[in-house]
Amino acid sequence: MALHVVALDDYQGLVAEYRLDGQPDGAQWTAIREHLADDALVAALRGADVIVAMRERTRFDRALLRQLPDLKLLVTTGRANAAIDLAAAAEHGVAVSGTDGPRSANTAELTWALILSLVRHLPAEIAAVRRGGWQHTVGMDLMGATLGLAGLGRIGSQMARIGQAFEMDVIAWSQHLDPAAAAEKGVRAVSQANLFATADVLSIHLVLSDRTRGLVTERELRQMKPTAYLVNTSRGPIIERAALLRALQEGWIAGAGLDVYDAEPLPPNDPLLNATNVLLSPHLGYVTARTMQTWYADAVDDIAAWQRGEPIRVLTGG
């Protein structure tokens, strides 16, 4: 019998666009175009030999895996996925493989799109032009302003270089940031309190963990300037949701740009949708043609290698 592959969260219809049905060796692909959860998710996955999961959108915990007795291989886009219980997968005999990706600045690029749109009020001004209006707001200069980075890893370092190209003063903080290493990148290491109090634009580039979950609270948001902007393209739960809503509604900060949320997709009744000083994008940080093509090609390679009994890019709990 043909291998049954289910691809989750194929919002853009890429399984069809990349003509993946039949790859490899006659595998039959089912693409799920919308996000599913609970009973609908179990029903869609029942009978699947292989599941291709898009990042961390779906939690594969022990309870879900127990309901998928036919599952043999779980492929995740990327080389890590905190939403997969690897120990439970191993107990159920499910192999887990990841994918590589091209060297890319796509998340940094998306972050700068949000920043530039925020500080120059582009969505409002573009909408006004379409209504026949002209120049309703005054934007902020980036030249000479301070870019604050929570995290100076791969993406944070890309952000720093672009900020320096705009002639911004770049500061950074993370719990284990080495001031000497930051200085080598032309970045000044500061305390957490100083980061929030000083930045004109504060961008978050931290991995979600027990240490960073809920890191940004009311205290940090109240430390920010009322003219400052907060941008999060990392993970939603790093910022305490209720505190951010109050900050936007009560004007503690000038505005925010968000690409990530506690719940994704964003529920239709979410109060963030009513905030006028926030830009909301649908977790587009990594969604570029080059990255998606690489991920799906790697997923096919993962399946073929597993069929040969030689799984590659295997994720383990160690």
The predicted structure's pLDDT at residue 248: 97
Are residue 39 and residue 147 in the same domain, yes or no? Answer: no
DSSP string, 4-49: EEEE---TT-HHHHTT-TTTTTTPEEEE--S---HHHHHHHHTT-S
- What mean pLDDT is reported for the chain? 96
Where b means 16+ CB within 10 Å and e means fewer, 195-228 reads bbbbbbbbbbbbebeeebeebbeeebbebbbeeb
Predicted confidence band of residue 102 (pLDDT cuts 50, 70, 90): confident
Q: Are residues 51 and 82 in the same domain?
A: yes
pLDDT of residue 105: 79
> For residue range 232-251, what is the model confidence (pLDDT) as tens digits?
999 999 999 999 999 999 99
**Do 166 and 216 fall into the same domain?**
yes
Q: 57 and 154: one domain?
A: no
User: Considering its fold, how many domains does the chain have in total?
Assistant: 2
- Domain check: are 225 and 260 in the same one? yes
Give 171-208 pLDDT, tens digit per residue. 999 999 999 999 999 999 999 999 999 999 999 999 99
- SS3 call for 232: strand
In a domain, 86, yes or no: yes
Question: E strands, 216-302, where?
Answer: 229-232, 255-258, 278-280
- Which pLDDT value is given to residue 73? 98
Q: State whether 118 and 40 are in the same domain.
A: no
Residue 318 confidence (pLDDT): 57
Q: Identify whether residues 152 and 84 lie together within a single domain.
A: no
Give the containing element (helix H, strand E) for 52: strand 50-53
pLDDT above 80 for 317 = no
* Residues taking part in catalysis: 235, 264, 283
Cα 56 to the center of its chain, rounded Å = 9
Q: What is the span of the domain harbouring residue 50? A: 4-102+289-307
Q: Are residues 93 and 234 in the same domain?
A: no
Residue 316 lies in a domain: no
Does 314 reside within a domain? no
pLDDT at 8 over 80: yes
Task: Please report, for the domain that includes residue 92, its CATH number.
Answer: 3.40.50.720
CA distance 34 to 16: 15
Tell me, yes or no, whether 78 and 131 share the same domain: no
Whether 133 and 223 share a structural domain: yes
Tens of pLDDT, residues 262-308: 999 999 999 999 999 999 999 999 999 999 999 999 999 999 999 99
Q: Decide if 159 is inside a domain.
A: yes
